[in-house]
């Protein structure tokens, strides 16, 4: 096969699979935020990628501080929390200023948030410069370990995946096992009834949107461990993340996880055996064709409206 021996192909599959896992983790984190904003609220947030970039820049900024004040070993945990908080607050403000006026016009939200993403990109460029910057990573994140001969597994990839899993479980617990999540689901399913039983639906909207943005911020923090950050980093992931959410079935958490895994793995494997652009084309094409045949996505039963 392609001039490789069977064993080599096996190793390549495992290693590409692991590099696919890093992509999977970032995509999953991005898509989780989107699944909340888009799947629950029906808002198209084209600036979601920029919220990820906000998280990434927060991490980079903290890493600079960490180098200066010498706490490189432990700063990353704080960076994740800080990335979440910064993106959360920003999302909260944006919802208040912009999104809440547009709930009845989903197509217009799409355009307005696209405008927002342009503005945010330019703000990044003006403040942090057009060049890509990377965070100073603590030593325990660097390097790789070798379970067998011929297979290298990078530690940062494993870490990022762990982070993605923790966030996924937390989102699940929040959405389906807590009072807050109950309020969110009640509001999204029947706003009037939810209001009637005493839920402050506007407050719920704001927190839900901010939460989605906060998770994108965490995605940004995770992203800094595997690549460097530039002003347009987020926009590279936005279409992929939307495809993940749509492909998985917008309101389904399981669907989001499964489709993030499928898309990331397919892309990563295909990119090894074809050129990187053709791998991406093949993946996206497959998704689009499947979506054309099964528009409701993998894990949902409702007809799209």
Nearer to another protein, 98 or 182 (CB): 98
Q: Please give the Cα distance from 74 to 97 (Å, whole number).
A: 36
**4, 13, 28: which is closest to 257 by C-alpha?**
28
Closest separation between CB of residue 282 and another protein, Å?
9
- Per the structure block, which two tokens stand in for 100? 């809440």
Sequence-distant (≥ 6) Cβ neighbours of residue 24 within 8 angstroms: 161, 164, 260, 261, 264, 265
Q: Please give the Cα distance from 26 to 18 (Å, whole number).
A: 13
Closest separation between CB of residue 295 and another protein, Å?
4
Nearer to another protein, 81 or 290 (CB): 290
Nearer to another protein, 42 or 180 (CB): 42
Closest separation between CB of residue 121 and another protein, Å?
7
Closest separation between CB of residue 80 and another protein, Å?
28
Pair 208, 36: CB distance under 8 Å: yes
Closest separation between CB of residue 107 and another protein, Å?
5
Query: In whole angstroms, how large is the CA radius of gyration of the chain?
Result: 20
Nearer to another protein, 73 or 101 (CB): 101
Nearer to another protein, 155 or 284 (CB): 284
Q: What residues make contact with another protein under the rule CB under 8 A?
A: 42, 44, 98, 101-102, 105-112, 114-122, 125-126, 239, 242-243, 246, 275, 277-278, 280-281, 284-285, 287-288, 291-293, 295, 303-305
Rounded alpha-carbon distances, angstroms, from residue 56 to 26, 123, 142, 220: 12, 14, 18, 4
Pair 219, 161: CB distance under 8 Å: no
Classify residue 144 by its DSSP letter.
Answer: E
Nearer to another protein, 110 or 141 (CB): 110
Closest separation between CB of residue 207 and another protein, Å?
22
């Amino acid at each position: 096969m392609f001039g490789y021996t069977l064993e080599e192909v096996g190793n390549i599959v495992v290693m590409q699979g692991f590099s696919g896992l890093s992509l999977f983790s970032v995509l999953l984190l991005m898509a989780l935020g989107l699944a909340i904003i888009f799947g629950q609220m029906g808002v198209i947030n084209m600036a979601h990628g920029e919220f990820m970039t906000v998280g990434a820049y927060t991490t980079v900024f903290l890493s600079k501080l960490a180098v200066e004040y010498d706490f490189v070993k432990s700063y990353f945990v704080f960076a994740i929390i800080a990335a979440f908080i910064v993106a959360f607050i920003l999302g909260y403000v944006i919802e208040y200023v912009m999104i809440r006026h547009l709930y009845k016009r989903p197509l217009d939200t799409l355009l307005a948030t696209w405008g927002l993403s342009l503005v945010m990109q330019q703000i990044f460029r003006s403040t942090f410069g057009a060049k890509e910057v990377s965070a100073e990573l603590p030593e325990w994140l660097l390097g790789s370990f070798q379970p067998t001969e011929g297979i290298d597994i990078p530690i940062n990839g494993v870490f990022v995946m762990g982070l993605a899993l923790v966030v996924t479980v937390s989102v699940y617990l929040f959405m389906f096992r807590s009072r807050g999540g109950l309020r969110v689901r009640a509001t999204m399913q029947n706003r009037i009834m939810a209001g009637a039983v005493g839920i402050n639906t506007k407050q719920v909207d704001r927190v839900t949107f901010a939460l989605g943005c906060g998770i994108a911020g965490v995605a940004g923090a995770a992203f800094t461990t595997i690549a460097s950050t530039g002003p347009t980093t987020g926009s590279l992931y936005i279409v992929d993340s939307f495809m993940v959410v749509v492909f998985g079935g917008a309101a389904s958490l399981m669907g989001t996880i499964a489709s993030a895994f499928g898309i990331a793995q397919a892309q990563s494997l295909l990119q090894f055996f074809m050129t990187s652009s053709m791998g991406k084309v093949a993946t996206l094409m497959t998704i689009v064709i499947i979506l054309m045949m099964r528009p409701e996505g993998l894990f949902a039963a409702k007809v799209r409206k």
